[in-house]
Amino acid sequence: MTTQVNGTENALIDQHTNAAEQNTELGKDEIYHLLQNERRRKVLEYLRDREGPVQMRDIAEQVAAWEHDTTVQALMSDQRQRVYIALYQAHLPKLDEEGVIDYNQSRGIVEKTPLANELAAHLELPDDDDDEVDAESERPWGAYYLSVSGLSTLFVGASGLGLPGFTSIPHLIVALTVMSIYTALTFWQVLDNFETTDEE
């Protein structure tokens, strides 16, 4: 029974090794596809200066810290968990499938292959297409907040001075309206940032 199990394991290892040996280089389209996602780029950046197996958990924590411009120690649990799940379910299996890393999902171990070094050479290259996409998708949040601040000031000022049309509006309603506008705008910004971070 043990001999049969060992034989099956060896066959699977040989199959994975042969697949990796066949995939010794990547085409331009494959490179572009793999590097178009920021989290995959961050994984390669993390692995670039490391040799040997590394813990998948360590990768996820560092990528999350980079995304939130903080340290691993200062990460919130939800920030860490969101990145961990995305790497576990999608990005690391994709890099493993392309032969860029060896990913043992059950043990949570990642090790780069020679293809990772090939991809890492492209990390420093400027990507005009990505810059254009980022510029188009970036919203002018500063202008939005400035506009809301201006309108809120006028609204509160008119109510406080008792200008015609505003005297019948209770001050509590004015305050709640202003706070609701700011809350809605902030929620929109958080949602927009979340979608931008998680998109492929």
CATH 1.10.10 describes domain 2-127 = yes
CB 113 within 8 Å of CB 101: yes
pLDDT mean over 194-200: 56
pLDDT for position 167: 74
pLDDT mean over 132-160: 71
How far is Cα 176 from Cα 183, in angstroms, rounded to an integer? Answer: 10
How far is Cα 169 from Cα 162, in angstroms, rounded to an integer? Answer: 9
Please tell me whether residue 104 adopts helix, strand or coil conformation: strand
How far is Cα 76 from Cα 127, in angstroms, rounded to an integer? Answer: 31
Domain boundaries defined on the chain: 2-127, 139-198
Helix (H) or strand (E) holding 110: strand 109-112
Q: Which amino acid is it at 174?
A: V
CB 31 within 8 Å of CB 119: yes
Please give the structure tokens belonging to residue 166. Answer: 């505003």
Percentage of the chain surpassing pLDDT 90? Answer: 28
How far is Cα 143 from Cα 166, in angstroms, rounded to an integer? Answer: 26
| pLDDT above 50: residue 72 | yes
pLDDT mean over 44-69: 93
For residues 144 and 61, the model is more confident at: 61
pLDDT mean over 117-142: 58
Cα within 13 Å of Cα(69), Cβ side: 0
- Total number of residues shown for the chain: 200
For residues 184 and 67, the model is more confident at: 67
Please give the structure tokens belonging to residue 140. Answer: 């002018």
pLDDT band at 196 (very low <50, low <70, confident <90, very high): low
pLDDT for position 19: 45
pLDDT band at 60 (very low <50, low <70, confident <90, very high): very high
